[in-house]
Amino acid sequence: MTFVVTEACIRCKYTDCVDVCPVDAFREGPNFLVIDPEQCIDCAVCVPECPVSAIYAEEDVPGDQQDFTPLNAELARVWKPITKTKKALPDAEAWREVTDKRAELER
């Protein structure tokens, strides 16, 4: 099992989760984070750190977010690791409550 970053992270990219990850499993894209399933040790410490509740255990990913499991694996292969907290995107608060953001994902 691994943990998965889902749609709520798109256009917010809060990085509170990054500092607590003991194995540096997060990868950073332009407006989204993913978890490398090969690095994740299933410790769950990132889950409560996410201010938009975007991180789920693989087995608990909501049905309408299942496509994010393979997406995390795919993007983790090409995006660079992020190991320190950065400021959220400038308009993160405006996007925090928005749903249906898949079209906003920048690869």
Cβ atoms of 80 and 25 within 8 Å: the answer is no
Nearest-5° Cα angle at 35, 31 to 40: 160
Compute, in degrees rounded to 10, the torsion defined by CA atoms 37, 23, 49, 52.
Answer: -30
Residue ranges for the chain with pLDDT beneath 70: none
Q: Which of 4, 10, 81, 104 is nearest to 52 (CA)?
A: 10
> For residue range 58-79, what is the model confidence (pLDDT) as tens digits?
999 999 999 999 999 999 999 9
Q: Tell me the Ramachandran region of residue 81: left when phi exceeds 0, alpha when psi lies from -120 to 50, beta otherwise.
A: beta
> What pLDDT is recorded for position 74?
98
At residue 1, the pLDDT reads 80
Are the C-beta atoms of residues 50 and 30 closer than 8 Å to each other? no
Q: pTM, whole model, 2 decimals? A: 0.97
